Amino acid sequence: MDQFAVKVFVRLRPSVLDPAGEATKSASIKLGAKGIKSLRVGKMIEVKIEGNGENEVREKIDLLCDRLFANTVIEDYEYSLEKL
């Protein structure tokens, strides 16, 4: 069995309004940051997982992302995978 460290990024789809991102952008500008064109807030989920090779682990992570980590009606996801 191989062990992998997976980082999953879940983001609201570009077409979905992100009020938390807008509020954070507004606060960033109040802090004095200049030049911010857009700011959106997402989530990062870290998983350590075992499996027989990368392909099997990818299948497991795809299922988790599609069914649990992200709501694909409003969110997109991507992930990176590192063999430990």
Partner 1 sequence: MDNFTVGVVVFPGSNCDRDVSWALEGCLDIRTKYLWHESSDLSDLDAIVLPGGFSYGDYLRCGAIARFSPLINALDDFVKSGRRVLGICNGFQILTESGFLPGALTANKNLNFICDDVELDIVSSKGGWFNDGGEKQTIKLPIAHGEGRYHCDSDTLKKLVDNELIALRYKNNPNGSSFDIAGITNEKGNVLGLMPHPERACDETIGGTDGLFTLKSLILK
Interface residue list for partner 1 (CB under 8 A): 12, 15-17, 19-20, 23, 68-69, 71, 73-74
Query: Which CB atom, from 16 or from 29, has the smaller least distance to partner 1?
Result: 16
What is d(CA 60, CA 2) in angstroms, rounded to the nearest whole number?
Answer: 14
Query: Which CB atom, from 16 or from 36, has the smaller least distance to partner 1?
Result: 16
Q: Is residue 60 packed enough to be buried (19+ CB in 10 Å), middle (13-18) or exposed (0-12)?
A: middle
How far CA 80 is from CA of 7, 15, 20, 44, 67, in Å, comes to: 5, 24, 25, 11, 18
Shortest Å, Cβ 7 to partner 1: 16
Query: Which CB atom, from 10 or from 49, has the smaller least distance to partner 1?
Result: 10
Shortest Å, Cβ 25 to partner 1: 12
